[in-house]
Amino acid sequence: MAIQTWQLDTTHTTVGFTVRHMVVAKVHGRFTRFEGKLTLQGDDFTKASVEVKLEAASLDTGVEARDNHLRSPDFFDVAAFPKLIFRSKRVEAVKGDHYRVVGDLTVRDQTHEVVLDAELLGRAKDPFGTERIAFQATTHLDRKQFGLTWNQAMEAGGVLVGERVDISLDVQAVPATVQADKAA
């Protein structure tokens, strides 16, 4: 069975997150700089492996002051911990094109197992002849497990920043022999 390595097409991939703010609202953000690879053995996705490295300093919620606070030692401490890293351990078939990707996520030198609910969206060639593969995946985690413990109590009850972080991925990958940023 042929082994093929794919790289994330960072211009067509989104790594996003959502967290509760002041109990009643949600803040959305994303990481803008990352790299990743996917290794496949033919069409058997249960034999796939995934590795993704995110630049912690690239987080973007659309509010500079909040982003700077998130980059500080109160949260990600990007000077001391510049990367967030996910490495898969196994992929389990669920049903049809749905999979569970089990792996280790490292944030601030804290590593914990996470499970991504993933869906293969398909394969296609773009107008320039580059083969692409696309996935969507979601998971959630408790940010305190990763040392992201800063918070403030609200006068009316609750806390300023929720503990649960929802993560969503929209991924396109191209064969590793292709320069992803040059493809359409």
In this prediction, what percent of the chain has a pLDDT beyond 90? Answer: 67
Task: Give the Cβ contact number of residue 98 at 10 Å.
Answer: 12
Burial 53-85 (b: 16+ CB within 10 A, else e): bbebbbbbbeeeebbeebbeeebbbbeebeebe
Paired with 94 in beta bridges are none
Question: Which is more confident, 152 or 120?
Answer: 120
Average pLDDT score, the chain: 89
H/E segment holding residue 65: helix 64-71
- The pLDDT-based confidence of 54 (bands split at 50, 70, 90) is very high
pLDDT of residue 126: 87
Q: How confident is the model at residue 19 (pLDDT cuts 50, 70, 90)?
A: confident
What is the model's pTM?
A: 0.89
Q: Would the pLDDT of 166 be above 60?
A: yes
Question: 88 near 118, Cβ under 8 Å?
Answer: no
Q: Round to whole Å and give the CA distance between 120 and 137.
A: 9
- What number is the average pLDDT over the span 77-101? 96
